[in-house]
């Protein structure tokens, strides 16, 4: 382990998320990272049946389907730092959720399957990271299998993801003949041992690529490998801390998550280089993490994480100051002071009460319907953190009840599911219909399942003639009012009461935009 000095407080915080294409190994590497962080006794319990995720009923659905719809936070100590790992939902349909999680981190770890290289979802997530120039560390996984030529994979990262790639270590072969990794900066070989997936393996090192010990390890391939590494040194970028922090260069590590090899080297690099909590933009000024007064924003709401509690948790990223148990905070949108007595965090799945949290930490607030995604909390100042958008849905269904007497439950359920960002709900001005909107089709299934499971309502979907939605805004109240009257047939209020234009076709949308030039039609809405 590289670090022995312990850094307390904000400077020692490292808050990150893992981004990857499904099956690249995100879950497996999360397990190993938690193993190193002593957050779990034995690797292998993150996705397992007895694992923390097995708590809630509707989560059985995600287990059956092999997808992760939940997003949680794990805090653990490593190398003298306090690491916050934010889990991102893995399925494509939940990109909106993932987007919001990425607004709450200071850096990301990109996991790439060495045999597959850069895949679709990695590209999309990388684009999201680029919006905020989030620093990215890379881990090329599955070296215990035959992978593609590592030089080719490095080239692909540079070309497809448009970021410089700087290898920190280099694999010594792969698959059956995988011998370990060679650190280009310390001239040290870390030797791979098989069968150590569930333990913290000893770090067996050989000093010097040209040493006799190295020759012995590499055997007949020794000369070829030395030549290849010489070539790699000349042909790849050198690591540069400033470029990494600016999101322009990614340090690359090789290893196997399943074999728990190379993960330690990656983690050591991570705690040394990854940025401490960064400043955050608000609508009025930038907030420094070291400011004394508390502030934070809500980036995720999760309903009924534990069916016995039947509560909702609002995940808040602390941006400045210190949260102390029992403190009063201002709920800026409501202009109200609230006392937060029982914030929670999720240490490898178990709820623990937080006594104190600083910038970079995530705390969970119990939400009884007053907190929405994007809400800012402060110690008094009327700040509003920016950059947490809603996306216009692309798929729409009318929702109908099997039992009409359950309208109240349906409305309550949809209201809550829309607050946590699982779906968007629209109430047309001229009819009593309820229309739900989603970014991906799987969201509809999840909503129907959860309505039944948690709110005991059986809902049926019907097709509806809506192609796209736009939030309608105008500074001139008179003009907005006129628009509201004249176009009411296509207008609705969303779950938070914002006026929304539901366009039956793209052509209709263009015509309407032309007809009402003073109205702004927005495809994203800031929370
Ligand atoms: P996720 O979808 O990104 O969370 O991927 P998982 O961690 O669930 O891994 C997908 C599959 O790849 C699982 O069957 C893992 O056991 C396997 N896997 C993950 N890491 C490695 C590795 O280093 N080597 C090999 N051979 N398989 C791996």
Nearest atom within ligand 1 for CA of residue 31: 7
Residue 61's pLDDT band, with cuts at 50, 70 and 90, is very low
Per the listing, tokens 């602390």 go with: 318
Q: What's CA 253's distance to the chain center, in Å?
A: 21
Rounded to the nearest angstrom, the distance between the alpha carbon of 258 and the centre of ligand 1 is: 6
User: Could you tell me if 140 and 149 are in contact, meaning their C-beta atoms sit under 8 angstroms apart?
Assistant: no
Q: How far apart are the first and last CA of the chain?
A: 42
Q: What per-residue confidence (pLDDT) applies to 487?
A: 97
Residue with tokens 């690591």: 239
Contacts of 277 (CB under 8 A, 6+ apart): 10, 13, 15, 106, 289, 319, 358, 359, 360
- Does the interface ipTM go beyond 0.95? yes
The reply to whether ligand 1 has any atom less than 6 angstroms from the CB of 190 is: no
How many angstroms does the Cα of residue 354 sit away from the middle of ligand 1? Answer: 33
Stretch 69-87: mean pLDDT: 80
Asked if residue 197 has its Cβ within 6 Å of ligand 1, the reply is no
Q: How close is the Cα of 29 to the center of ligand 1, in Å?
A: 8
Cβ–ligand 1 distance for 256 under 6 Å, the answer yes
Contact 360, 8 (CB under 8 A): no
| pLDDT value at residue 7 | 84
Which ligand 1 atom is the nearest neighbour of the CA of 21?
3
| Residues 6 or more apart whose Cβ sits within 8 Å of residue 26 | 18, 19, 20, 90, 111
Q: What is the pLDDT of residues 96-144, one digit of tens each?
A: 778 889 999 999 999 999 999 999 889 988 988 998 899 999 999 999 9
Reference 28, options 266, 269, 350, 259; nearest CA is: 259
Residue whose CA is at the smallest distance from ligand 1 atom 25: 142
Interval 276-297: pLDDT, tens = 999 999 999 999 999 999 999 9
CA dist 106 and 384 (Å) reads 19
User: Residue 201: is its pLDDT beyond 90?
Assistant: no
Q: What is the DSSP letter of 10?
A: G
Cβ of 116 less than 6 Å from ligand 1: no
Q: How far is the CA of 181 from the centre of ligand 1 (A)?
A: 19
20, 23, 35: which to mutate for ligand 1, most atoms within 8 A of CB?
A: 23
The dihedral over CA atoms of 350, 351, 357, 363, expressed in degrees to the nearest 10, equals 110
Contacts of residue 276, Cβ cutoff 8 Å, sequence gap at least 6: 10, 11, 12, 13, 14, 106, 289, 360
Structure tokens that stand for 320 in this block: 């400045």
Whether residue 419 has its Cβ less than 6 Å from ligand 1: no
pLDDT at 57: 39
Distance of CA 311 to the CA centre of its chain: 22
Local structure of 520: helix, strand or coil: strand
Q: Which atom of ligand 1 is nearest to the CA of 20?
A: 3
More confident residue, 70 or 130: 130
Instruction: Give the pLDDT confidence score for residue 56 in this predicted structure.
Output: 37
Question: Is residue 20 lining ligand 1, measured as CB closer than 6 Å?
Answer: yes
Q: Please name the residue that has the structure tokens 């229309």.
A: 435
Ligand 1 site, residue 81, Cβ cutoff 6 A: no
Mean pLDDT of 318-328: 93
Helix, coil or strand: residue 510: helix
The 10s digit of each residue's pLDDT in 422-465 is: 789 999 999 999 999 987 777 888 889 889 988 899 999 999 99
Sequence-distant (6+) residues with CB within 8 A of 69 are 59, 61, 62, 89, 91, 94, 446
Please give the torsion angle defined by the CA atoms of residues 278, 284, 285 and 291, in that order, rounded to the nearest 10 degrees: -80
- CA-nearest of 526, 459, 495, 527 to 369 is 495
Q: Quick check: CB of 25 below 6 Å from ligand 1?
A: yes
Cβ of 141 closer than 6 Å to ligand 1, yes or no, is: yes
Higher pLDDT, 137 or 326: 137
Per the annotation, where are the binding residues for GTP? 20-27, 87-91, 141-144
Tokens 């959860």 belong to 450
Over the stretch 380-439, which tens digit does the pLDDT of each residue have?
A: 999 999 988 777 888 999 999 988 889 999 998 998 888 777 789 999 999 999 999 987
Return the pLDDT at 39.
59
Q: Choose from 26-30, 196-200, 353-357 the range with maximum mean pLDDT.
A: 26-30
Model-level pTM?
0.83
Phi and psi at residue 29, in whole multiples of 5°? -70, -30
Contact 271, 196 (CB under 8 A): no
- What average pLDDT does the segment 347-358 reach? 63
The atom number, within ligand 1, closest to the CA of 256 reads 23
Say if ligand 1 is within 6 A of residue 30 CB: no
Given ligand 1 and candidates 46, 256, 258, 259, which is best to mutate, with the most ligand atoms within 8 Å of its CB? 258
Q: Is the CB of 145 under 6 A from ligand 1?
A: yes
- Record the tokens describing residue 486, joined without a space: 């004249």
Average pLDDT, the chain: 87
Whether the per-residue pLDDT at 67 is higher than 50: the answer is no
């Amino acid at each position: 382990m590289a670090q022995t000095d312990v850094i307390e407080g904000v400077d020692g915080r490292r808050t990150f998320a893992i981004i990857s294409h499904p099956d690249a190994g995100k879950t497996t590497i999360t397990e190993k990272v938690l193993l190193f962080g002593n957050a779990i006794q034995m690797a292998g319990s993150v996705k397992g049946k007895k694992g923390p995720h097995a708590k809630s009923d509707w989560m059985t659905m995600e287990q059956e389907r092999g997808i992760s719809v939940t997003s949680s936070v794990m805090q653990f100590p490593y190398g003298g730092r306090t690491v916050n790992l934010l889990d991102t939902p893995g399925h494509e349909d939940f990109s909106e959720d993932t987007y919001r999680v990425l607004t709450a981190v200071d850096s990301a770890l990109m996991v790439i399957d060495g045999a597959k290289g850069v895949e679709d979802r990695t590209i999309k997530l990388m684009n999201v990271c680029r919006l905020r120039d989030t620093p990215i560390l890379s881990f090329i996984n599955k070296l215990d299998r035959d992978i593609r030529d590592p030089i080719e994979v490095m080239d692909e990262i540079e070309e497809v993801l448009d970021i410089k790639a700087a290898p920190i270590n280099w694999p010594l072969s792969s698959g059956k003949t995988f011998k370990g990794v060679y650190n280009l900066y310390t001239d040290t070989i870390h030797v791979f041992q098989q069968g150590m997936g569930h333990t913290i393996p000893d770090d067996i090192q050989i000093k010097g690529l040209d040493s006799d010990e190295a020759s012995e390890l590499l055997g007949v391939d020794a000369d070829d490998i030395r030549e290849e590494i010489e070539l790699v040194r000349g042909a790849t970028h050198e690591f540069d801390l400033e470029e990494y922090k600016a999101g322009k260069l990614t340090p690359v590590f090789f290893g196997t998550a399943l074999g728990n090899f190379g993960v330690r080297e990656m983690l050591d690099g991570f705690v040394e280089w990854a940025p401490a909590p960064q400043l955050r933009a608000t609508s009025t000024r930038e907030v420094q993490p070291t400011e004394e007064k508390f502030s934070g924003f809500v980036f995720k709401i999760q309903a009924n994480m534990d069916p016995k509690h039947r509560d909702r948790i609002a995940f808040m990223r602390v941006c400045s100051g210190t949260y102390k148990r029992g403190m009063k905070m201002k709920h800026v949108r409501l202009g109200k002071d609230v006392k937060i007595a029982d914030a929670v965090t999720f240490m490898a799945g178990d709820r623990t009460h937080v006594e104190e949290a600083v910038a970079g930490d995530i705390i969970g607030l119990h939400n009884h319907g007053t907190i929405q995604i994007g809400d800012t909390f402060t110690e008094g100042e009327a700040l509003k953190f920016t950059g947490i958008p809603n996306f216009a849905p692309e798929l729409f269904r009318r929702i109908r009840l099997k039992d009409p007497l359950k309208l109240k439950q349906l409305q309550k359920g949809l209201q809550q599911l829309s607050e946590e960002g699982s779906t968007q709900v629209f109430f047309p001005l001229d009819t009593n219909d309820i229309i739900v909107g989603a970014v991906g089709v799987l969201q509809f299934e999840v909503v129907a399942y959860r309505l039944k499971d948690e709110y005991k309502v059986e809902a049926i979907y019907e097709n509806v003639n809506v192609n796209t939605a736009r939030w309608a805004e105008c500074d001139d109240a008179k003009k907005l009012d006129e628009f509201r009257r004249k176009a009411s047939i296509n207008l609705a209020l969303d779950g938070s009461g914002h006026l929304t234009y539901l366009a039956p076709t793209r052509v209709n949308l263009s015509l309407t935009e032309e007809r009402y030039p003073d109205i702004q039609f927005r495809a994203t809405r800031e929370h």
